Structure 1
Amino acid sequence: MSSIDIQPWILPTGIPFADLKGKDLEECVYWLVEAMGGRDLEWRTGGSGGGAADGGRDLEATFYVSSPDGEMEPQRWWIECKGRKGTLEKEEVVRAVTNALAYENLSNLVIVTNTAFSNPTRDWVKTWQKNHSHPRVRLWDRETLERQLSQHPSVVMRLFSEALSPEGLLRIVQERFWNKLEYVPLRALQTLWDNRETLEIGPLERFALIANEFANSSIAERPWAACSSNHDLLDLICNTFYNLLYINNKTISAGVFRGPILAAFSHVILVAIQKCEPSSLADLIIEICRRSNDIELSDQTVKNILNPVLERLSDEMRQICSADCKRIVFIVDGSLEDMDDIIDRYWRGLNPESFIEEKEYKSAITIESLSQPCNVGYELNEEIKCPLFFVYPSIENISEFFHIIKRVSAFRLSQAKTRHAEEKIWSQFFEKSNKFFNMPRNWKRRL
């Protein structure tokens, strides 16, 4: 039995089945049939969704099934929706089945209700089916709808987002990202973060969450990679970089903006560098990329798909390190960055204490004062320049590049932790001071 059969993807109380009638029921069934693989859907609702005039059917769809010789054969489905307050009348089912006999090449007739079918109705359909091989009559009641919706949480997300369980929501995040490169809203990410201790988050789900964070804002508020165990982090690296070729080709074919995805890959490397030996991490990533999607890739192909990630990481670290550097001035979009903002963004991306909005950068100018020292501790002079700005990242020097990132990030992270601790002390001091000065005049007598 697959996990989809045992996981509570939806919360039934969150779906208003009692109110699911008319156009609302038809819309629900429309998206459900599409999610099940239906093609060539026609919504026959007389223009307003109040019920169909031609033959009584509300929806028409085609499913393609495999024949014994491997060919795909089309099966025509008609779906009729009957919203009720109580049990659906037997006469409505008899009428729908009788009308369906007038149409040739009809494989399945589905009668859907938001309530239930009576036992006499089901007995009549069984008796009728014994004498008629076509069409196959399917009765979908509330329980059937609930079961089908639990297997297709994307439909629930579209129509009844509040009915999704955290498990179902997590599945939506994974499916939308890896299948369609689509993202979910911040509210969904916060719900998953609040329930992270009870969720089984695999590597593909975790990377989808990270990409969603960057697509919505940044990783600062919910650091999915930084909070993972060493085992989960290694699993994340292996699975995501194994799919780098797939995700690269998909973004190109779909014409999707790659910014959040490159930021996600870059962030995974940055978190891993804090816990791994740089050269070993570099070798691992190169080896995984070479065998991406079970294909032995050439060095040039690996370079084409991996270099944009390395360049993204390099650009981010340059912004971080040059924020308070006297030797390097990094001008972005024609203005000087504020040091506190850049350092805070870096620090809070690795620690979930607050959120700072990310900015989009389009161009940059680097100015180096050769007589100034390096804050990180590199021995620089007029001939030896800053390695972070003058070592171009590529697969040829990825190990050297990772060592640079390790050293710079370790220094800046330590610096940010110190600043954060000092800010916390001052905050506590001012809080106590405010309490003291706000005490009533007779505070001595009360003490």
Structure 2
Amino acid sequence: MSDKANKEWILPASIPFENLKRRDLEECVYWLLDAMGAKDLEWRTGGSGDGTADGGRDLEAHFYTPGADGEVESQKWWIECKGRKGTVESSEVKSAVNNALAIEGLDYVVIATNTQFSNPTRDWVKEWQAKHPRPRVKLWDHSQLERYLSRHPDVVLRLFSEALSSQGRFQAMESRFWNKLEFVTPKALADLWKVRREIELTGMGLFAAVVNEFANGNITHRPWGAFPDAPSLVGVLQTGLLNVSYLMMRSVKGGVDLKPVCRALAYLILTALDVLPAQNVAQLVTDSVFRGKADEMPEHVQQFLLMPIADQLLSEMQDVCSSDCRRMSCTDRSVLTDDKDEIDEYWLRLESDGLKEAGERRSVRIEFFDAPCVVGFPVDKERHCPLFLIEPSVKNTEELLAIIKRVAAFRKAQAAQKREEEKQKEIERVAQIAQKPLA
């Protein structure tokens, strides 16, 4: 993405550069370095900058870059932050640069400020650099920081959210998810939802929004997968499915719960089933997850990649469909506990044993053979409810999605009819009140 496009996401006048001093400036540079790919970042509690006092640096970082021969080389950076009201004193720059010269193995020294450096100071650095090839000296002033921040809207979202345009906030949310598996706040999602028709919604961004919603609660209030057209929806779903292995690896490495990702994919598959044949969706799912190479992939790997998603979707359908079913009765519906009211379990916080974790719960399902299936599946004493009978596997993905599509279509229509009946009742109630004479 070009700097011009990025600058359209940033509102520079809203970044409070004049207030970026001491710890605030150090924090800004810290997250900027992190976004730029720095490793082994260390924020010093002692140094020679505004927030420190031991003759050292405020921040230390390493960058790892490929050399001419392809070998990865480590670069050691030291950073000092100089928050000022006016131009940084030349003596401060000279002191920092000369002190860095004595450090063995130092590749770069950066002096960052929220204001600017004088021309004589810059000239002195050029002369000093001509005599001392290492370490390389970088002067980051107000303009330089603004340029770097424009390339990393996720940093601006973290520190100065008001300085981002709507497009910038969407891009920052997308970047934080895909690069770090981090989530934004519910308020940030609500703000983006309000302007969703005014901004460019990428497939990666929409998928990130869906996962963010599940990480924060549920998708009911902001159904990001329900308003794109069918081709766009397929693109969003495919984006998530193609990256299943990557997301699993990142979640394990970062210690992040993978459940929001599984719930997001289950939701997007359900939205796709709402507008496409089950056969097409099943083909899309398997081709995307296995990247068209299922024949070359061991079966246990296929199961590992696909089953968490299939299990999530099936469990949700079982919970929802059995909630008012006369044929199937379940003693525990724990899949959707993230969305349930805590009242029923509130007083368990005062019990010494507490409430067992979801993984420890046991669910008892009872099927009443004499009761019909409201969805319309042919059931009797010999033929059981297919929604509970089927065991998800890679081989029966199409069959599973066909069952889920049928259940979803019936239950969605049923819910719409119920909402319409309630709406009519409310209209009638209001009309009756309006007809009553005033006392």
CA distance in 2, matches of 1:119, 1:419: 73
Residue of structure 2 in register with 1:32 after alignment: 32
The structure-2 alpha-carbon separation of the partners of 1:215 and 1:62, relative to structure 1 and needing over 3 Å to count, comes to: closer
Residue of structure 2 in register with 1:318 after alignment: 318
1:429: Cα distance to partner? 3.4
Query: 2:389 is aligned with what amino acid?
Result: F
Unpaired runs of 5+ in structure 2?
Answer: 342-357
Query: 1:320 is aligned with what amino acid?
Result: V
Residue of structure 1 in register with 2:110 after alignment: 110
CA distance in 1, matches of 2:38, 2:383: 64
The structure-2 alpha-carbon separation of the partners of 1:44 and 1:237, relative to structure 1 and needing over 3 Å to count, comes to: closer
The structure-2 alpha-carbon separation of the partners of 1:300 and 1:78, relative to structure 1 and needing over 3 Å to count, comes to: closer
Q: Is the 8 A contact 2:154 2:172 kept in 1?
A: yes
Unpaired runs of 5+ in structure 1?
Answer: 343-359, 442-447
Are 1:303 and 2:303 counterparts? Answer: yes
Q: Please identify runs of 4+ aligned residues in structure 1 that moved more than 6 A.
A: 292-295
The structure-2 alpha-carbon separation of the partners of 1:98 and 1:223, relative to structure 1 and needing over 3 Å to count, comes to: same
Q: Secondary structure at the match of 2:407?
A: helix
Residue of structure 1 in register with 2:353 after alignment: none
TM (normalized to structure 1)? 0.84
Q: Secondary structure at the match of 1:109?
A: strand
CA distance in 2, matches of 1:70, 1:257: 35
Residues 75-109 of structure 1: CA deviation (Å, up to 9, x unaligned): 33222211111222333333333443444443322
CA distance in 1, matches of 2:89, 2:253: 50
Residues 38-85 of structure 1: CA deviation (Å, up to 9, x unaligned): 334443443898444344533233333332122233333222211111
The structure-2 alpha-carbon separation of the partners of 1:289 and 1:100, relative to structure 1 and needing over 3 Å to count, comes to: closer
Q: Secondary structure at the match of 1:197?
A: coil
Are 1:126 and 2:126 counterparts? Answer: yes
CA distance in 1, matches of 2:47, 2:135: 27
1:37-76 pair list within 5 angstroms: 37-46=37-46, 50-55=50-55, 57-76=57-76
Are 1:16 and 2:16 counterparts? Answer: yes
Residue of structure 2 in register with 1:215 after alignment: 215
When structure 1 is superposed on structure 2, of 261-270 and 391-400 the one drifting more is: 391-400
The structure-2 alpha-carbon separation of the partners of 1:125 and 1:184, relative to structure 1 and needing over 3 Å to count, comes to: same
CA distance in 1, matches of 2:145, 2:293: 36
Q: Is the 8 A contact 1:78 1:110 kept in 2?
A: yes
CA distance in 1, matches of 2:94, 2:305: 59
Residue of structure 1 in register with 2:244 after alignment: 244
Q: Secondary structure at the match of 2:325?
A: coil
1:274: Cα distance to partner? 0.8
Query: 2:366 is aligned with what amino acid?
Result: I
The structure-2 alpha-carbon separation of the partners of 1:434 and 1:112, relative to structure 1 and needing over 3 Å to count, comes to: farther
Residue of structure 2 in register with 1:414 after alignment: 413
Aligned length: 418
CA distance in 1, matches of 2:250, 2:112: 37
Q: Secondary structure at the match of 1:396?
A: coil
Percent identical? 46
Q: Secondary structure at the match of 1:74?
A: strand
Residue of structure 1 in register with 2:346 after alignment: none
Residue of structure 1 in register with 2:204 after alignment: 204
1:219: Cα distance to partner? 0.7
TM (normalized to structure 2)? 0.85
Query: 2:302 is aligned with what amino acid?
Result: V
Residue of structure 1 in register with 2:395 after alignment: 396
Residue of structure 2 in register with 1:147 after alignment: 147
Residue of structure 2 in register with 1:385 after alignment: 384
1:143-292 pair list within 5 angstroms: 143-291=143-291
The structure-2 alpha-carbon separation of the partners of 1:256 and 1:75, relative to structure 1 and needing over 3 Å to count, comes to: closer
Q: Is the 8 A contact 2:273 2:281 kept in 1?
A: yes
1:365-380 pair list within 5 angstroms: 365-380=364-379
Q: Is the 8 A contact 1:107 1:134 kept in 2?
A: yes
CA distance in 2, matches of 1:39, 1:381: 62
CA distance in 1, matches of 2:41, 2:286: 45
Residue of structure 1 in register with 2:348 after alignment: none
Q: Is the 8 A contact 1:35 1:152 kept in 2?
A: yes
Residues 4-28 of structure 1: CA deviation (Å, up to 9, x unaligned): 6522343323322111111221222
The structure-2 alpha-carbon separation of the partners of 1:368 and 1:18, relative to structure 1 and needing over 3 Å to count, comes to: same
The structure-2 alpha-carbon separation of the partners of 1:83 and 1:249, relative to structure 1 and needing over 3 Å to count, comes to: closer
Q: Is the 8 A contact 2:48 2:80 kept in 1?
A: no
CA distance in 1, matches of 2:399, 2:132: 74
Query: 1:123 is aligned with what amino acid?
Result: D
The structure-2 alpha-carbon separation of the partners of 1:378 and 1:333, relative to structure 1 and needing over 3 Å to count, comes to: closer
CA distance in 2, matches of 1:115, 1:416: 59
Query: 1:325 is aligned with what amino acid?
Result: C
Residue of structure 2 in register with 1:427 after alignment: 426
Query: 2:401 is aligned with what amino acid?
Result: F
CA distance in 2, matches of 1:32, 1:105: 23
When structure 1 is superposed on structure 2, of 28-37 and 428-437 the one drifting more is: 428-437
Residue of structure 1 in register with 2:349 after alignment: none
CA distance in 2, matches of 1:5, 1:363: 56
Q: Is the 8 A contact 2:387 2:403 kept in 1?
A: yes
1:154: Cα distance to partner? 3.3
The structure-2 alpha-carbon separation of the partners of 1:4 and 1:275, relative to structure 1 and needing over 3 Å to count, comes to: farther
The structure-2 alpha-carbon separation of the partners of 1:33 and 1:286, relative to structure 1 and needing over 3 Å to count, comes to: closer
1:317: Cα distance to partner? 1.1
1:197: Cα distance to partner? 1.4
